[in-house]
Every structure is written in structure tokens, then in C-alpha cells.
Amino acid sequence: MGEWRLYGIFALMFFATWLTRGAFLLAGERVRLPAGMQRFLRFAPAAALGALIAPELVGGTGQPLDFLSPRLVAAAAVVLVVLRWRNPWVPFLAGMGVLLALQHLGG
């Protein structure tokens, strides 16, 4: 059971993704998205990303909040780099570099 649980979840996630991408493609000409709804949905990605990233950087379930964590400092480096350069590799190199350096220094 445990072994197949993940595959079952992936199958369900397939439908969750396929149906959102296909919402209006599959429905054909019958359905259109109201403008008010469209404005509200615009905020969903930023809200979801904020809610998912913050605990990873500052402290998640059962952990104390740490506003000086190596991960938060590394994330700050990533933000600076993304704002400055368009090269897609740089954020990963900068983020991992800072994180590993701080972890190394911290022992």
C-alpha cells in the first residue's frame, strides 16, 4: 500500500494539472472566464509561492522561527541575483554557494 500511495497521488495530481490547463480548451466555445474571476486568480501564484517559500527559509512546522538562518541569507542572495542578471544558471549557483559556505563556516 505505502509503496503505491505516491503513484496514486501523482495520478491524481496529473488530473489536477491537466484539468486546470485544459479548463477552457476542453470545454470548447461554451464557457468563458468572467473578468472579475480572472483578476482574482492573478494573485494565486504569488500567494501560493509566498506561503510555500517562507517556512522553508525561516522555519516550518514544529521549528522555531530563525530570521538569521543560512537559508534566508542564501535566499536574499538569490533575490539580488535574479533582479540583476537574466542568466538562468546564476541564481542556483549563487544560492547554493552562499548556503554551503555559511553551513561550512557554521560547522
Instruction: Decide if residue 97 touches other proteins (CB under 8 A).
Output: no
Q: Other CB atoms closer than 10 Å to residue 82's CB: what's the count?
A: 15
Number of residues that bind other proteins (CB under 8 A): 67
CB burial of 62-75 (b: ≥16 within 10 Å; e: otherwise) equals eeeeeeebbbeebb
Torsion 93-54-79-72 (CA) sign: negative
Closest distance between other proteins and the C-beta of residue 85, in Å? 11
Which positions from 19 to 38 touch other proteins by CB under 8 A, shown as an x/- string? xxxxxxxxxxx--xx----x
Closest distance between other proteins and the C-beta of residue 55, in Å? 5
**CB-CB contact of 58 with 72 (8 Å):** yes
- C-alpha cell recorded at residue 94: 549563487
Please state, in angstroms and rounded to a whole number, the distance separating the CA atoms of residues 104 and 49. 28
Q: Which residue's CB is nearer to other proteins, number 7 or number 105? A: 7
Site for other proteins in 39-58 (CB under 8 A): 39-58
The footprint of other proteins (CB under 8 A) covers: 6-7, 9-14, 16-29, 32-33, 38-63, 65, 71, 74-75, 78-79, 82-83, 88-89, 91-92, 95-96, 99-100, 103
